[in-house]
Amino acid sequence: MSAFDPATADRARHRRRTGSHCARRQIHIIWVYGLVSLVLIAVYPLLPPLGRTIDFLLVSLGTLPPAVWVLRRRSPGRRRPWWFLLIALVVLNVGNLAWYWYTDVLGRPTADGTVSDLLISVGHVLMLASVISIVIRRGRNDVGGLIDTVIVSMAAGGLLWDVVILPHMDATHETVAAKLSMFFDVFVLAAILGAISRLLLTAREVIHALWLLMATLVLSFTGNVLVSLLLDPDTGARPDWTNMIFMAAYTCLGLVALARSSVLLTRPGPTPADDFTHGRLAFLAVALAAIPVVGGGRQIFGYPVDGMLLALGGAAVTSLVMVRIGRLAAQRTRAERALLHQATHDALTGLPNRREFVAQLSAELARAPRLGPVVLFCDLDGFKAVNDRFGHVAGDMLLSEVAGRLRRCVREEDIVSRFGGDEFLVLCRDASPADTADLCRRIASTLADPVIIDGEAVRIGASIGVVTAGHTSDAEELIHRADALMYTAKQQRPVEVPGVRTVAA
């Protein structure tokens, strides 16, 4: 028992007090930030046009300090999503300022097609990159589940696009570029919403930052859809109250950065069971069929065929389905290999087991090599005493150490097997008498080195029976002969005397 150290105890109490104080201060900052943002959103419709612009910019610019704060508090290896977030917010705010310049200063009804519009689009792409980076890091242990959820959510987004948004954009004679931009926003946002939903469903704890991120995406998705549906086709203007939705999205994003649980967003989440059930397969089948069915339905009812949905949406969903099938095939292959390895190898040492050794020896005998294969039957001397004195765990460690040493003694084409207990078999392919003698010397040399168990040097010996196949074509008979020679070697001197005794025939 260590002596009590007052200085260490004082430092520990100081760290606890400091951590508690920082936590209270962070919660206070979150409340202040949230309440101020809510007030700015609430008063937005009551302000004159210039006041609304300033109010909107205050909320959007207010996200920059939290983004800088969270970036500085993350370790270098976990900063990529937050770098994307900070750069995206900078670009978006520059775009918002440019929008204000075009609409309020220059008096244009809209800033569509200007540098401002380009900056906002770039900012949205960077924001998506930040969220995707979080999804990849948080969901790296649930790739299969994420793919399934994304496929279904993309199909749902395609239906929303084809049934609600596209008819309105056709009626208002929107350009192909505007349709393509809106299609991208809807399709990608739907996919990311599905991925975030999966992360929320599989989380084993309440992660407030993840829920706030979900709220941010839902608000952005809702705002984009409403803007598309309510946009005036003649002037390009939209209802001013829709800005309040984007202001709420900015507020939630700032709270994501300030939340204490934001540190969990870049840590790998749990590993749920990836069971490809009939229900999940049915969902994927429906999602895969939804887009072509909707496209065909439009043609049946006399509507124009939606080429973007069929080409881009179909390609995206089909690609994800193929990736999912590829992952399932790879998982099955790995499982089959693991089962085969378990069936043919010893669990403790990783060496081929008795059945695999007999199969390899039989194949070698059937090959009729120029030099007959040589079998070494090695039985450890003194192992029982070590096992009784130090326990079974130490005995297992000793067996693993011996297995490793034997592996290092043989050639690449040779095989070392654990026959059972403290018995090992070695198959030397195409071995001359000189090769066999060299191998026995290497085994004797490597087993002469002590093994450290519980801080004590332990030495063990071995008795080895060596037999060359000759005209023998039966693997079991060859092993039996080597076993008999091993017992002859064991009787040459007492097992209490460490060393390696070899009898060859």
**Residue 188: alpha-carbon gap to chain centroid:** 21
Q: In terms of pLDDT, which residue wins out, 496 or 140?
A: 140
Decide if 158 is inside a domain: yes
Q: Which domain holds residue 477?
A: 354-504
The pLDDT of residue 142 = 84
- 329-339 tens-digit pLDDT: 787 788 888 88
The pLDDT of residue 304 = 62
CB-based contacts of 278: which residues, under 8 Å, 6+ apart? none
Same domain flag for 265 and 389? no
Same domain flag for 18 and 160? yes
- 87-128 tens-digit pLDDT: 999 999 998 888 888 777 777 766 566 788 788 878 888 888
Decide if 88 is inside a domain: yes
Distance CA 120, CA 98 (A): 10
Beta carbons of 47 and 55 less than 8 angstroms apart? yes
Same domain flag for 148 and 255? yes
Residue 266 is classified by DSSP as G
For the record, the structure tokens of 206 come out as 């309440």
What SS3 state is found at 5? coil
Same domain flag for 262 and 363? no
Decide if 307 is inside a domain: no
| Sheet hosting strand 461-468, strand order edge to edge | 415-420, 423-428, 374-381, 461-468, 500-504
Residue 504 vs residues 186, 468, 481, 483, 489: alpha-carbon distances, Å: 78, 8, 10, 11, 9
Same domain flag for 149 and 18? yes
Q: Where are the alpha helices (DSSP H) in 301-353?
A: 307-308, 314-344
Beta carbons of 400 and 348 less than 8 angstroms apart? yes
Mean pLDDT confidence for 186-212: 88
The pLDDT of residue 289 = 73
- 25-48 tens-digit pLDDT: 888 889 999 999 999 999 999 999
- 404-452 tens-digit pLDDT: 999 999 988 899 999 988 999 999 988 888 888 898 889 888 888 888 8
Decide if 293 is inside a domain: no
- 343-359 tens-digit pLDDT: 889 989 999 999 999 99
Decide if 313 is inside a domain: no
- 155-169 tens-digit pLDDT: 888 788 777 887 777
Structural domain ending residue among the three candidates 276, 310, 342: 276
**How many CA atoms are closer than 13 Å to the CA of 423, on its beta-carbon side?**
18
What SS3 state is found at 428? strand
The pLDDT of residue 215 = 94
Same domain flag for 257 and 370? no
- 230-257 tens-digit pLDDT: 877 666 667 888 999 999 999 999 999 9
Decide if 418 is inside a domain: yes
Instruction: Let me know the angle formed at the C-alpha of 200 by 196 and 205, rounded to the nearest 5 degrees.
Output: 145
Beta carbons of 40 and 243 less than 8 angstroms apart? no
Residue 5: pLDDT band (50, 70, 90) is: low
Distance CA 423, CA 419 (A): 5
For the record, the structure tokens of 193 come out as 């919403």
Same domain flag for 256 and 374? no
Nearest to 403 by CA among 352, 456, 471, 369: 352
Same domain flag for 246 and 372? no
Same domain flag for 236 and 375? no
Q: What is the pairing mode between strands 423-428 and 374-381? A: antiparallel
Same domain flag for 271 and 359? no
Structural domain ending residue among the three candidates 250, 276, 302: 276
pLDDT greater than 50 at residue 2: no
The pLDDT of residue 11 = 57
What SS3 state is found at 466? strand
Decide if 298 is inside a domain: no
What SS3 state is found at 239? coil
CB-based contacts of 41: which residues, under 8 Å, 6+ apart? 59, 244, 247, 248, 251
Distance CA 321, CA 147 (A): 8
What SS3 state is found at 375? strand
Beta carbons of 148 and 324 less than 8 angstroms apart? yes
Decide if 314 is inside a domain: no
Mean pLDDT confidence for 367-391: 84
Same domain flag for 67 and 209? yes
- Mean pLDDT estimate for the chain: 82
Nearest to 463 by CA among 423, 427, 436: 423
Distance CA 412, CA 435 (A): 13
Residues in the chain: 505
Our count of domains for the chain comes to 2
pLDDT greater than 80 at residue 78: yes
Structural domain ending residue among the three candidates 242, 276, 310: 276
Same domain flag for 31 and 150? yes
CB atoms < 10 A from the CB of 74, how many?
A: 18
Beta carbons of 353 and 364 less than 8 angstroms apart? no
We report the CATH number of the domain holding residue 402 as 3.30.70.270
- 249-283 tens-digit pLDDT: 999 999 999 998 988 888 888 887 766 667 767 77
